[in-house]
Amino acid sequence: MNVDLADEEHFVQKNSRCALCRGSKNLCGRERCPVVVKYYQRMESKPLIDSTDISGSSPPGVFVGRYGYPKVNVGPLVPPFHGDTSELDMPELWVGKKIDDIVKNRTQLVRGKYPIRVDRFDGRNRIADITQQMALSKRPAEVEAFFSKKPGGKIQLSDSVQPYGPSGPLKKLDLGTIKFDGRLDKAHFDTDLKATKAVVNLYEKDVYISKIQRAFSVGAFGIEENRKFVPTRWSITAVDDTIGKELREEVKDYRPIDEYRVYETWELDNRWEILMLPRTWMYELVEAWYPETAWNPHGRDIAIISSHERYEGRSDYAEIGGCFYAARLAVAEKLSREKRQAGAVILRETHPGYIMPVGVWNVREHVRDALKKEPKTFDTLKEALFYVSTRLDIKIDTWKKHSEVLRDALYQTRLSDFGVKRKEEKDFKFGEDRHWN
Amino acid sequence: MLNAEINSNVLKDLVDIVGTIVDEVKINLNEEGLNLKAVDPAHVAMVDLSLSKDAFEAYEADETELGLNLKKMEQFLRLAEAGEMVRMTLDEDENRLVLEVTNITQKMALLDTAGMTDPNVPSLDLPLSLKVKGKYVLNGVKASENISDHISITANPDGFEILSEEDEDMVRLSLNEEELEELNANEEVRSLFALDYFSNMIKCVSKDTVLEIELGADYPIKIQFSFAEENGSVRYLLAPRIEST
């Protein structure tokens, strides 16, 4: 029985099938996701590529499919024109753009598909080899792609991967001269360096997440015999998870923030309200999908789902999927820069203007964007929640029901409330962050 | 100085008992044995453990502090067969703990204990105490895990109850006075606890272990039991949740 009135007019639906699946798990049992198909139809008017030969500047972009794993399709993303196309595959630069512009930009990218086994490519296959080189390129790569038939007109949309345009089977691939990104290239040539270490090192050298992820997906890192292509979708989450974990363990050594903070950003009709609490690490993402938004297409109720982790992290995959890890990276990154730790809950309200999924970057980059701004600060949780309630349409009581971080903060007492004293604040000296408690 | 030999099962129990609270711990050693106190990072739970030298096959130690990474210790103990003896010595020059089981030696870097202070154990005056067999509490907690993320524990002069409720679902374990080993109660008290903490605390308890529980109204719970054939004792404290919604 649902008696949960979330705002003035909507009820809440928990664990809605579409919000959990997001076109990736076939939970409805249908062969193709009806939501995604709907977007395809909307896009059908796009002009088809009327040639079997495309010459253009790849951003550089590559794509590694996941169907049929370990035999998957790999290849470049190429637009049918030349120039500085780097922005087309660099989600770090997309904050502030309109959804239509993002989709329009991305759908110009034609995907070349060439089937390989993920672990058997070792330089003997020219197309796989070029795809790999492109992923390490510093600047857009001049590419000529020859298809065995005209690329199909369907565009691809998913919750984790940014959209791209038509795709077709590759026959041959030519690459102009490219200049490798020195940082990526160095990690690529270190065949004794573990992939996770390579990812973290590159992040610490300020390499964009999208670049690390792209190189990761073509098996550019790791101990030599372990290298293999990784489906783009998986590589995004693997990179977000690896970096996020590293940062999380680092911030646990710092002392908690001193106040309650609320950060926010509103983009693409998504409202992001990020509440940080003065406590040890705990993190949660709660998403509320209004009816008629991407992953609540049929409902009349608001679909709310959430995933959280406590201090020690979690070992199972988050219910909410890749966006849990993308947002965690952004939160841990902010705290790491400040050398503090905190509990954090992200309340995401997705309104009907968010009509189609654009990829997990939306979560990572918008949370990052919010955390770059000055927060509102509060002395008490009550004041912080009151402020949040003025920024979101869904009532705070509803968020509380779905948020483990909020419930913990509101209902879980601490031993210190009963006379177990923590180390006095005045004893604390900088440099003693470890074991601050 | 430390020169000791101990059954790996006992050491595994110790690591499990403390590991549910913290990953790193300061252990105080002296001639009589060891003891430690630790509070979890969220300040919700606390463990106070002591292990007498009688729990060891051989034991010789000076008064000293060991900063131990329990995760590493747990990994090492996976190499030991059940019941196999573990030799422990200190490499004081290198500040390492040396662990040996048959054919395997591991040297483990010790943590700097300078910043690791012993938490104060609060003197809580809890109005009610009882003793109950581990099997009952284990069952009550197991049943609750399918229902909710918290449990309520109630005791009164007639008995003891673990209750878990969420929406329309409910599960209850009730024990009357006869089913308890001991009951000292003049009033009824009830407190709520986070189930994940609670179930972690009793996961090393065997069915026959007798738990000594002290309880108050919306107050921390104290759970005490012994391990290592009565040579070790554990005391947990867990802060309550206050009534939600």
Its ipTM equals 0.90
Asked if the Cβ–Cβ distance from A435 to B117 is below 8 Å, we say: yes
Q: Are residues B155 and B188 in the same domain?
A: yes
Please give the pLDDT value at position B126.
Answer: 92
Question: Residue B244's pLDDT is what?
Answer: 56
Instruction: Specify whether the CB–CB gap between A13 and A2 falls below 8 A.
Output: yes
Of A412, A434, A436, the CB nearest to B194: A412
Confirm if A331 and A261 have CB atoms less than 8 A apart.
Answer: no
pLDDT value of position A435: 37
Place of tokens 């109630």: B154
Chain A residues in contact with chain B using a Cβ-Cβ cutoff of 8 Å: 252, 279-282, 310-312, 401, 404, 407-408, 410-423, 432, 434-437
Q: Is B122 within the bounds of a domain?
A: no
pLDDT in tens, A97-152: 988 888 888 888 999 999 999 987 666 789 999 999 999 999 999 999 999 988 87
Please identify which residue in the block is written with the tokens 């196309």.
A85
Domain locations in chain A?
Answer: 46-180, 183-250, 253-435
For residue B35, is it within any domain?
A: yes
pLDDT value at B200 more than 90 = yes
CB pairs under 8 A between A and B: 81
Look up residue A168 and give its two tokens: 């077709």
Predicted pLDDT at A37:
67
Q: Which of A404, A414, A432 sits opposite B43 (nearest CB)?
A: A414
Q: How far is B76 from chain A (nearest CA, A)?
A: 20
To test the contact with chain A by mutation, choose from B43, B125, B151, B195 the residue with the greatest count of A C-beta atoms within 10 A, namely B43
Determine the pLDDT at residue A432.
37
Residue A197 makes CB contacts below 8 A (sequence gap 6+) with: none
DSSP designation for A68? T
Flag whether pLDDT at A215 surpasses 70.
yes
**Gap between the Cα atoms of B237 and B240, Å rounded:** 10
Q: Label the pairing between strands A302-309 and A12-14.
A: parallel
Cα distance between the two ends of chain B? 54
B26 and B71 in contact (C-beta within 8 Å)?
A: no
Contact between residue A349 and residue A394 where contact means Cβ atoms under 8 Å apart: yes
Q: How many CB atoms lie within 10 A of CB A344?
A: 29
Taking only the tens place, the pLDDT of each residue in A70-98 is 999 999 999 999 999 999 999 999 998 98
Strand ranges for B56-149 from DSSP E: 58-61, 64-69, 85-91, 96-101, 104-109, 128-133
Token pair listed for B97:
């703990």
Q: Name residues whose C-beta falls within 8 Å of residue B168's C-beta, 6 or more positions apart in sequence.
A: none
Q: Is B201 helix (H, G, I), strand (E, B) or coil?
A: helix
Quick one: pLDDT at residue A38? Answer: 64
- CA A421 vs CA A152, A418, B50: distances in Å: 67, 9, 21
Q: How many CB atoms lie within 10 A of CB A172?
A: 15
What confidence tens digit (pLDDT) does each residue in A14-43 have? 777 788 887 777 777 776 677 776 666 556
- The amino acid that residue A288 corresponds to is A
Do residues B220 and B121 touch, judged by C-beta distance below 8 A?
Answer: no
Helices A322-338 and A361-372, axial angle in degrees (round to 10): 20
Contacts of residue B176, defined as CB under 8 A and 6 or more positions apart, other chains included, come to: B158, B159
Shared domain for B210 and B164, answered yes or no, is yes
For residue B116, is it within any domain? Answer: no
Tokens of B96: 């390492």
Split at pLDDT 50, 70, 90, the class of A427 is very low
Given pLDDT bands bounded at 50, 70 and 90, which one contains residue A47? low
Alpha carbon of A208 to those of A228, A361, B116: distances in Å? 21, 12, 38
pLDDT beyond 60 at A429: no
The helix (run of H) or strand (run of E) holding residue A274 is: strand A270-277
Query: Which tokens sit at B193?
Result: 């606890």
**Position with higher pLDDT, A8 vs A87:** A87
Rounded Cα distance between A37 and A157, Å, is 9
Q: Is the pLDDT of residue A1 over 70?
A: no
Question: Closest approach of chain B CAs to the CA of A280, in angstroms?
Answer: 6
A411 → closest Cβ in B116, B124, B244: B244
- Neighboring chain B residues of A437 at a CB cutoff of 8 Å: 39, 41, 43
Position A107 scores a pLDDT of 84
Look at residue A437 in the predicted model and tell me its pLDDT: 37
Q: Collapsing DSSP states into helix, strand and coil, what is residue A73?
A: strand
Rg (CA), chain A: 23
Cα separation, A196 vs A118, whole angstroms: 18
**Mean of pLDDT values over A150-164:** 78
In whole angstroms, what is the distance from residue A12 CA to residue A3 CA?
A: 8
For residue B90, pLDDT over 90 is answered with: yes
Q: Please give the single-letter amino acid code of residue B216.
A: G
Pair (B164, B83) in one structural domain = no
Cβ distance of B40 and A311 shorter than 8 Å:
yes
How much is the average pLDDT of B53-60?
Answer: 96
Domain that holds residue B209: 128-238
Q: Which residue in this structure is represented by tokens 């009164």?
A: B156
Out of A401, A416, A437, name the one closest to residue B41 (CB). Answer: A437
The pLDDT of residue A433: 39
In this complex, the residue of A416, A421, A435 whose CB is nearest that of residue B116 is A435
Domain count across chain B: 2
Q: What is the pLDDT of residues B23-34, one digit of tens each?
A: 999 999 999 999
Architecture label for domain A46-180: Beta Barrel (2.40)
- B69 and B136 housed in the same domain: no
Could you tell me whether strands A270-277 and B221-227 are parallel, antiparallel, or unpaired per DSSP bridges?
unpaired
SS3 content of chain B, % helix, strand, coil (to 5): 20, 45, 35
Tokens at A95, concatenated: 């904050």
Check pLDDT > 70 for residue A421.
no
By Cβ distance, the residue of A407, A418, A435 closest to B219 is A418
User: Are A410 and B93 spatial neighbours (Cβ–Cβ below 8 Å)?
Assistant: no
Whether B115 contacts chain A with CB within 8 A: yes
Chain B residue numbers with beta carbons less than 8 Å from the beta carbon of A421 are 119-120
pLDDT of B120-171, one tens digit each?
777 788 999 999 999 999 999 999 998 998 999 999 999 999 999 988 899 9
Q: Residue B63 sits in a domain of what CATH number?
A: 3.10.150.10
Would you tell me the crossing angle of helices B70-77 and B8-19 to the nearest 10 degrees? 150
Q: How confident is the model at residue A345 (pLDDT cuts 50, 70, 90)?
A: very high
For testing the chain A interface, which of B18, B37, B40, B148 should be mutated: the one with the most A CBs within 10 Å?
Answer: B40
Averaged pLDDT for residues B80-96: 92
Q: Whole-angstrom Cα distance, residue B4 to residue A198?
A: 41
Query: How confident is the model at residue A424, as a pLDDT?
Result: 40
Cβ atoms A371, A277 nearer than 8 A? no
CB contact under 8 A, B43 and A419: no
pLDDT in tens, A231-286: 999 999 999 999 999 999 999 999 999 999 999 999 999 999 999 999 999 999 99
Confidence band of A422 (pLDDT split at 50, 70, 90): very low
Query: In chain A, which residues have their Cβ closer than 8 Å to the Cβ of B46?
Result: 415, 420
Q: For residue A228, which amino acid is it?
A: K
Cis bond before residue A231 (omega within 30° of 0): no
Closest CA to B10 of B105, B86, B103: B86
**Cβ atoms within 10 A of the Cβ of B235, count?**
17
Tokens of A313: 């992290």
How far apart (Å, rounded) are the C-alpha atoms in residues B196 and A204? 35
Closest residue in chain B to residue A279, using alpha carbons only: B42
Please report where in the chains the tokens 């080189």 appear, as a residue.
A133
What does DSSP assign to residue A24?
S
pLDDT tier for residue A153 given thresholds of 50, 70 and 90: low
Res B245: pLDDT? 45
Per-residue HEC secondary structure of A87-110 comes to: HHHCHHHCCCCCHHHHHHHHCCCE
Residue A117's DSSP bridge partners are A71
Task: Find all residues with CB under 8 Å of A279, minimum gap 6, and list them.
Answer: A256, A342, A343, A409, B42
Q: B198 with B225, same domain?
A: yes
Distance, CA of A218 to CA of A216 (rounded, Å):
6
Counting Cα atoms < 13 Å in the Cβ hemisphere of B217 gives: 6
Q: Kindly report the nearest CA distance between residue A298 and chain B, in angstroms.
A: 26
Residue B123 belongs to some domain of the structure? no
Ramachandran class of A262: left when φ > 0, alpha when ψ lies in -120 to 50, beta otherwise: beta
B43 contact A CB<8A: yes
Region at A408 (left for phi over 0; alpha for psi -120 to 50; beta for the rest): alpha
| Cα of B102 to nearest chain A Cα, Å | 31
Q: Are residues B67 and B145 in the same domain?
A: no
Q: Is residue B19 part of a domain?
A: yes
The number of residues in chain A equals: 437
Residues B157 and B202 in one domain: yes
Structure tokens at B73: 């210790």
User: Helix axis angle, A209-217 relative to A126-135, nearest 10°?
Assistant: 160
Extended beta strands in A232-390, E state? 260-267, 270-277, 282-289, 302-309, 343-350, 376-378
- Average pLDDT in chain A: 88
